[in-house]
Amino acid sequence: MAGAELECRLIKTGEEEKQMTNRWIGPLAAAAALWSAMAAAQEGDAFRLIVTDLEAPLVPNSVMELALNLGYYEREGVNVELVRVQQTPSALAALTAGEGEMANISVDALLQMSARGNGDLRAVVSPNKSLPFLIAAKEDIASTADLEGRSFGIGRIGSLDHSLSSLVLSGDGLVMDDQLELVGLGQPAARAQALAAGQIDATTMSIGVWTSLPDKTGLHILVPQDAYYEAAPVVSKVNVVTTDTLENRREDVEAVIAAIIQISRDVAEDPSIWVDAMAEARPDVDRATLEELAESFEGSWSVNGGMSASELQYTAEWLFESEDFADLSEVELSTWTDFGPVDAVLEQRGIAEGSDQPAR
């Protein structure tokens, strides 16, 4: 399978999940019951971490799995087991059915639940707070201003890449829906292939898809991922726990957070740690690609836990203005986050330098 196709299948950009958000809220109880009925006997003191990737993803989120492979959780004194599901709805069903203690889910799904009256979940850490999006374009497009009147590939109207890129370009004075010719093409791999084939002039994609493009002749990165996130500081995914887990297994929650922070700091200081571990976890990806990705992730590691109150509040306000939240009232930050566990870890370990500052 080609690298771009693999990236598309395994690394959720949020587009599919956003389309599904309103559809799973109702059937969630039934899905949870199914999970419960299928559950095997729970093993002792295992702390089960639910992830939505079938194998280690080619993004900083992979530190959750690598921390297990490299013994970080063990060194923190917590027995972590990974539970693999596909997409946020399945992760939420598993968590609410008691099939895990922590789950990595999309922020929009968490806010949907909170706004609809389910206030039992709290975000406690974000191993990979932002999607590694960038805007790539033909070489003759030297600046975002040059995009006016040109064709721009999107997943669909209202998809996450469309919404975020609209926000990014609005900072440069462009009204994406009015001044660009939008072409709905689906997943990032399809958009990237269309750009490479000259069928569109620009599009949004992840750094992984860009790296996996076999031929970039005539193309360049117009808006790099750091500038993209700076223009649209929307947190895409967080790790959540139930209030019951916070009350009864707080030490384990803090130990998991400590392990995630420590491995993030280690790979930020020495990216070869990530490259070596991913080469073993993902033998299907060549080392040169992993090294290029590791270089591109500089500044993206959650060295302080990825929990900035200002960024999370901005994310919530932005989401509640979107069409998917039109019938919902905005909820307070305190109803879906708990900074206590990550702050306890940072108090003990100190705050690292870098872009991931824990603003409160």
Residues 209 and 149 in one domain: yes
Q: Above 60 in pLDDT, residue 9?
A: no
Please report whether residue 358 resides in a domain. no
Dump pLDDT digits (tens) for 277-299: 999 999 999 999 999 999 989 88
Q: What pairing do the DSSP bridges indicate for beta strands 219-223 and 102-106?
A: unpaired
More confident residue, 321 or 287: 287
What percentage of the chain carries pLDDT values higher than 70?
Answer: 88
Is 43 a residue whose pLDDT tops 70?
no
Question: CA-to-CA distance for 156 and 191, rounded, in angstroms?
Answer: 11
What is the pLDDT averaged over residues 13-23?
47
The residue from 231, 250, 277 where one domain ends is 231
Q: What is the model's pLDDT at position 203?
A: 98
Can you read off the two tokens belonging to residue 348?
A: 């003990």
Which residues form the domain of 156? 133-231
Residue pointed to by tokens 């929009």: 108
Domain boundary among 215, 231, 247: 231
User: How many domains does the chain contain in total?
Assistant: 2
Neighbours of 114 (CB within 10 A): 22
In a domain, 356, yes or no: no
Does residue 224 share a domain with residue 247?
A: no
Please tell me whether residues 25 and 108 are part of one structural domain.
yes
Is the pLDDT score of 14 beyond 60? no
Cα(202)–Cα(69) distance, integer angstroms: 38
Burial 52-85 (b: 16+ CB within 10 A, else e): bbeebbbbbbbbbbbbbbbebbeebebebeebeb
Residue 273 CB-density burial (10 A; 0-12 exposed, 13-18 middle, 19+ buried): middle
Q: Are residues 211 and 333 in the same domain?
A: no
Residue type, 355: S
Residue 27 confidence class, pLDDT cut points 50, 70, 90: low
Distance CA 181, CA 268 (A): 39
CATH number of the domain enclosing 312: 3.40.190.10
Domain membership of residue 85 (yes or no) is yes
**Residue where a domain stops, chosen among 162, 196, 231:** 231
What pLDDT is stored for residue 45 in this prediction? Answer: 86
